[in-house]
Structure 1
Amino acid sequence: MIDQIRGQKMLIGGKWVGSDEIIEVRDPQDNSLIDTVPAASTEDMLQCIEEAKEGAKIAASMPVHERIRIINAAADYIEENKEKYAFIISKEGSKTIREAQKEAARCIQTLRISAEEARRINGETIPFDQMPGSENRVGYYYRFPIGIIAAITPFNDPLNLVAHKVGPAIASGNAIIVKPATVTPLSALLLAEAFSYAGLPPKVLSVITGHGREIGDILVIHPAIRMISFTGGLKAGEDIVRKAGLKKISMELGSNSPVIVLEDADLEDAVESSVSGAFWAAGQNCLGVQRIYIQESIYETFQKAFISRTEQYCVGDKQSNLTDMGPLITEKEAIRVEKLVQEAIEKGALLLTGGQRNGAFYSPTVLTNVPENCKIAKEEIFGPVVLLYPVADLEEAIEKSNNVDYGLQAGIFTKNLEKAHKAIAQLDVGGIMINDSSDYRIDAMPFGGVKKSGLGREGIKFALQEMTEPKVVCFKLN
C-alpha cells in the first residue's frame, strides 16, 4: 500500500535521478494524490539518448544466455511482488484490482516469452550458387540489433504494454528508452525496478518521465534513435510519422472494433463475451467491442439479454473485488465520451441504458439506431459505450464492419464454418476471433492492424523481427 508521497525518480542510463520540476500522479477515482515523478527537461532527454548510445553497444555484446537470465529474473521479481504491481496498476489507472491482477500476470508471461524468443533469433544459409558464376560462393544471413529503440506507451495497460516493448528490445540486444504515459508512469518505473534488480547492465534501459510537449519531439526526431515503437492515438501517431525521419516505426493506433452475431450463434456466450469486451477497463481498450452487428431474426432477443447483462455490471471502487468497472482515466475523458453520446442522441440514436456521468465515472452505455454521420459511429470511442445494429445477413455485416478507417481486430459468433471462413477472408482487420469478441489476445501472437489502426506487428516473436535487421555474409572460395 502507498502510505505517503515518496517522490519517485526516473531511470536514466542506469541511475535513478530526480528533478526540481515534478508531475503529480493522481487516482482518477477520487483525484487523490498518489505520488510524484520528475518532469524531465530537454537536457534530461538528450543525456538519456547519449547514455543509450553506450547502452546499445553493451546490449549488443551481451550473450544470449545472459539476456535470457536477466529477463527471467525480472519476471521472477514481478511474480514475487505481483500484488504490489497490481495495486499500482489499479491505483494510478482505470483498472479494477481484478483487471490489474490479470495485467500483472500477463506482464510476467510477456517477459518469459521474450526470454524464450531470445534463443530463436535465427538466420539461414543462402545457396549463392543458384546464380550462374557464383558456384564458388557460400554464405548465410544472421540478424543483428538495430541500436536504440524509443518506446512511447499509453495509460490503459501501463505495465504489460511497456513489457511488450522492453522485453523484446532486451532479448534482441538493443538499448531502449521508455517514455510512459504522463498519467500512469509508476507502473513503468516498477518494471524498470525489476530489471535493475535482475542485473540488467546500466544504460541499456531508461524510463524517462515528463510531458510529451517538452521531451517527446527530441525522442522522436533524434537521429540516434533507430526505431520508434508507439502505442496510442491516431493523431499522435500521424504526428510522429511526419517528424520521425528515416527510422523504423511500429505503431498500434487503436480501432473501432466490430463483432458479428449470426442467428446460429450461442447467444448466451455472445452476450457475455461482448459485454466483457465492451466494458473491460472502462472501455479504454484498443480491442474493445464498439459495434455489434446482429442478424435481424435474433436482434430483439440479443438486445434484451445484452442490456440485462450490462445493467448487472458493478461500477465503483477499483480496489474492491466486487467491482466490474472503474472510472475513466480522467474526468476530461469522461466528459469527452459524454459529449460523443449526446451528439449521437441529438442526431437520432436511441439510448438503451447508461449514459450517466459522475466525475470520471461513466456508466456502461448501449446505443442503437446510431446514424452513420455521428463521430461515435466512425471513430474510436475509448470509453464504455457500445452500438447495436440489426443486419439482414453476413454480407451486410461484413460491409458495415469494413466501412470505417480502422482495422485492428473483429469477432464473429457462428457455428457455420463456411460463414466463419467468409468473414475471415473478407473482414479487413489484422485479426479475427471466431466465437469470441474482438477483445481477445495472447502475448505471443502477431498483434496489429490495417488501415489507420497501425504499422507493423507486436507480439514478442514479431517485435523481435522489427527490432533486428538481417546481415548477409558471403564467402568467395578459391
Structure 2
Amino acid sequence: MKMLIGDRWVDKDDKIEVRNPYDDSLVDTVPSGAVEDVEAALRAAEEGFRTNRALPVHKRIEVLYRAAQIVRGGQEEFARTISTEGSKTIREARKEASRCVDTLTISAEEARRIAGETIPFDSRPGSENRLGYYYRFPIGIIAAITPFNDPLNLVAHKVGPAIAGGNAVVLKPATVTPLSALRLAEALIEAGLPWNILNVVTGHASRIADALVTDPRVRMISFTGGTQAGLEIVKKAGLKKIGLELGSNSPVIVMDDCDLESAIENTVSGAFWAVGQNCIGVQRIYVHEKVYAEFEKRFVSRTRKMKTGRQLDETTDMGPMITEGEARRVEEWVKEAVGLGARLLTGGTRKGTLFEPTVFAGMPEAARLDREEVFGPVVNLYKVGSLDEAIRLANGVRYGLHGAIFTRSLDNAFRAIRELEVGGVMVNDSTDYRIDMMPFGGVKWSGLGREGIKFALLEMTEPKVVCFNL
C-alpha cells in the first residue's frame, strides 16, 4: 500500500515489510517515510486546514457518515486486515471494525454539537450595554500517533473528531500495523474528504517522529502508546497541546458478595483479550479471602480452556503477540517472577510469538509483573482480607487508567468509585469495558487529557469570545 500525502498516494523504493506475527508471512509493504515526507505532509496539512476550516459543518458530517457506511460495507475485509497484520483473532477484529463504524458515526453526530453559549456581560457593573457569546474554532494541524493493538479504531478516535472539528491531520500509524490506517484513509477519501485534510506517513518512529512532534506548525499531538515514549514527546514537543493515552496496570477487586461466575468470565476475557496487549486489560485481581480458593480454582480452569493459535481460525481464542521480541520480553518477566517466588498456576511458556495465557498467585512486589504494565497475556491473583486492603494495593502502582469491582453492595461500589485512583471505574464488569462515546483516559502515569469523541473535540477546538459594546 502507499502512504497519503497531500493530493496523492505516494510510494517509495525504501519499503517496510508488514508481516503476519503468527507465521512471519509477508502481508504487504508500505513506504518507509523520511523527514522530507513529514515536511511534505505538514505543508499539505496547512492547505488542508484552510480547506476544512472553511467547510460547512454539514459537509463534514456527510463525509464522516459516508465513511462509516463504507467501513460497515467492507467490515469483513477490514477485520481480516486487522487480524492479518496484528495480534487479534478474527472474532476480536470484527468487533474492532464494528466499533470503528460507531466512532465515525459518533464523530459525525458530535460535529453538529460543537456549540458555544451566550455570556452575560452585564452581570458586572459598568457592562450594561455589552452582550456577546463564545464559539469554538479548530486549532489547526493535529499530529496523530497510533499504536499497533487497535490499528483501526484508535486511528478513527483521532482522525474522526479532528475532521469533525475542522482541523487537518498528519497521522503516523504503528510501524508494524499500518495497513488498517491506510484502508481507513482510503475510505475517507472515497467518502469525499477533500485532499490535504488527512495525511498518512508510514515509517519508523526513530526516523520521522521527532520531525513531526517538534514542528511548530503542529498545534496538538494526540498520542497513544507507551509511557516512556509519552515522556519523550512531552520533553520535545514545545508549545502545543498534548493528549497522551499511555500505560496501565489495571486492578480488579472481587468481593465475597459478588456473582462469582460473572467475575470469572469477565476477568478471564479482560486479561487475555488481544493477547493481553490492551491498555485497559486486567493485570491484577484482588480477591476477598472468603472466596479466594474457589475463584482461583475456577479462574485457572477457565483459562486452561483457551485455545491459542492462528488469528484467522474461527476457533482461536488468543492469537500471537505482535513480535517475537515482545513475546521474549514477557517470557523474561515470567521467569523473573518465578525466581522471586511467585506461584505459577498455569501457562508461562512460549513458542515463537505464541504465549500461553498465564496466571500467577503470590506475586512479590519486587517483580515487574506486579508493578509495571506487562502488555501481554499474564494476570496476577492476590488474596485480600478487606476492601480497604484491596483499594490500598490497587492504588499502589504509578498507573491509573481503569479499575473495577465486582460486588452486590452499593456501599462497596461507591467506596471503590471514590477511592480508586483511576480515570474510570467499572462496577461488575472488566476493566477493559469501553464504549467509544465515553471520556477515556487516566491519571498519574497513564496519561494526560481525555479521548472519547465529545471530549477529544474539546481538546481539538478552542473557545473564542465575541463581545459587542452597543
Q: TM-score range by the shorter chain?
A: over 0.9
Question: Which residue in the other structure is 1:306 paired with?
Answer: 299
Are the aligned partners of 1:14 and 1:204 in contact in 2 as well (CA < 8 Å)?
no
Name the structure 1 match of 2:21. Answer: 28
Cross-structure match for 1:282: 275
Choose the corresponding residue for 2:460, options 457, 460, 467: 467
Structure 1 residues 111-133: Cα deviation after superposition (integer angstroms, max 9, x where no partner): 00000000000001000011111
2:48 aligns with one of 33, 51, 55 = 55
Aligned partner of 1:152 among 132, 145, 168:
145
SS at structure 2 position matched to 1:389: strand
Q: Alpha-carbon deviations, 1:208-245, whole Å to 9, x = none?
A: 10011111001000000000000000000000000000
How many percent identity over aligned positions? 64
In structure 2, what is the equivalent of residue 374 of structure 1?
367
Residue matched to 1:330: 323
CA distance in 2, matches of 1:426, 1:42: 46
1:154 and 1:254 map into 2 onto residues whose CA distance is: 12
Give the counterpart letter for 2:378 in structure 1: V
Q: In structure 2, list runs of 5 or more residues that go unmatched.
A: none
String of CA shifts for 1:340-390, please: whole Å, max 9, x gaps. 111011000010000010000100000011100111111000000000000
Distance 1:404 1:14 in 2: 47
Cross-structure match for 2:379: 386
Classify the secondary structure of the residue corresponding to 1:297: coil
1:336 Cα deviation after fit? 0.3
Partner Cα separation in structure 2 for residue 99 and residue 341 of structure 1:
26
Task: Tell me which of 79, 82, 86 is aligned to 1:89.
Answer: 82
Name the residue aligned to 1:4. Answer: none
What do residues 297-349 of structure 1 show as CA deviations (whole Å, max 9, x unaligned)? 10000000000000001111111111110000000000000001110110000
2:10 to 14, 17, 22: 17
Write the letter of the residue equivalent to 2:187: A
- In angstroms, what is the RMSD of aligned CA positions? 0.5
Once residues 254 and 13 of structure 1 are traced to their aligned partners in structure 2, the CA distance between those partners, rounded to angstroms, is 33
Q: 2:390: which partner in 1? A: 397
Q: Name the TM-score, length of structure 2 as normaliser.
A: 1.00
Instruction: Tell me what 1:180 maps to.
Output: 173
Matched, 1:171 2:167: no
For 1:163, the aligned partner's letter is A
In the alignment, the residues of structure 2 paired with residue 441 and residue 360 of structure 1 have an alpha-carbon distance, to the nearest angstrom, of 27
Cα offsets for 1:77-131 (capped at 9, x unmatched): 1111111100000000000000000000000000000000000000010000111
**In structure 2, C-alpha distance between the alignment counterparts of 1:89 and 1:14, rounded to whole Å:** 26
Supply the distance in 2 between the matched residues of 1:378 and 1:155 (Cα, whole angstroms). Answer: 23
**2:310 corresponding residue in structure 1:** 317
What number of residue pairs does the alignment pair up? 470
1:121–1:143 CA contact under 8 A, matched in 2: yes
Counterpart code for 1:269 = S
Q: Is 1:430 aligned to 2:418, yes or no?
A: no
Q: CA deviation at 1:191?
A: 0.4
SS in 1 for 2:253: strand
State how far apart, in whole Å, the 1-side matches of 2:85 and 2:277 are: 14
Aligned to 2:284: 291
Equivalent residue runs for 1:134-149 within 5 Å: 134-149=127-142
Q: What is the letter of the counterpart of residue 382 of structure 1?
A: F
Which of 238, 241, 246 is 2:239 aligned to?
A: 246
- Whether 2:185 is the aligned partner of 1:192: answer yes
1:256 aligned residue: 249
1:236 is aligned with what amino acid?
A
Amino acid at match of 1:447: F
Match of 1:343 in 2: 336
Map of 1:39-118 to 2, 5 A cutoff? 39-118=32-111
Q: What is the one-letter code of the residue matched to 1:179?
A: K
Distance 1:141 1:99 in 2: 43
User: Which 4+ residue blocks in structure 1 deviate beyond 2 angstroms?
Assistant: none
CA distance in 2, matches of 1:82, 1:298: 42
Letter in 2 for 1:298: V
Contact 1:407 1:429 in 2 (8 A): yes
Amino acid at match of 1:405: R
The one-letter code of the counterpart of 2:174 is: A
> Which residue identity is paired with 1:221?
T
Deviations 1:429-465 (A, max 9, x none): 0000000110100000000000000000000000000
Q: How far 1:52 sits from its partner (Å)?
A: 0.4
Tell me, yes or no, if the aligned pair for 1:26 and 1:92 is still in contact at 8 Å.
yes
Secondary structure at 2:137 match in 1: strand
TM-score, normalised on structure 1? 0.98
Aligned mates of 1:315, 1:373 — CA distance in 2: 30
2:447 corresponds to 1:439: no
Is the CA contact (8 Å cut-off) linking 1:178 and 1:208 kept in structure 2?
yes
Question: What amino acid is aligned across from residue 240 of structure 1 in structure 2?
Answer: I
Please, which of 219, 227, 249 is the counterpart of residue 234 of structure 1?
227
Give the Cα–Cα distance (whole angstroms) in 1 for the partners of residues 434 and 375 of structure 2.
18
Which of these residues, 185, 203, 214, is aligned with residue 210 of structure 1?
Answer: 203
Q: CA deviation at 1:14?
A: 2.6
1:3 aligns to what? none
Counterpart of 1:188 in structure 2: which amino acid? A
Looking at structure 2, the residues matched to 31 and 350 of structure 1 have their Cα atoms a distance apart, in angstroms, of: 33
Q: State the one-letter code of the partner of 2:208.
A: I
Distance 2:206 2:269 in 1: 35
Take 2:242 and 2:7, find their aligned partners in 1: how far apart are those partners?
25
How far apart are the structure 2 equivalents of 1:439 and 1:203? 35
Alignment check: 8 A CA contact 1:122 1:143 kept = yes
- Provide the C-alpha distance between the structure 1 equivalents of 2:328 and 2:153, rounded to a whole number of angstroms: 27
- The CA distance in 2 between the partners of 1:124 and 1:385, in whole Å, is 49
Q: Which runs of 5+ in 1 are unaligned?
A: 1-7
Is contact 1:420–1:434 with CA below 8 Å preserved after alignment?
yes
Contact 1:14/1:205 (<8 A) preserved: no
Which residue in the other structure is 1:411 paired with? Answer: 404
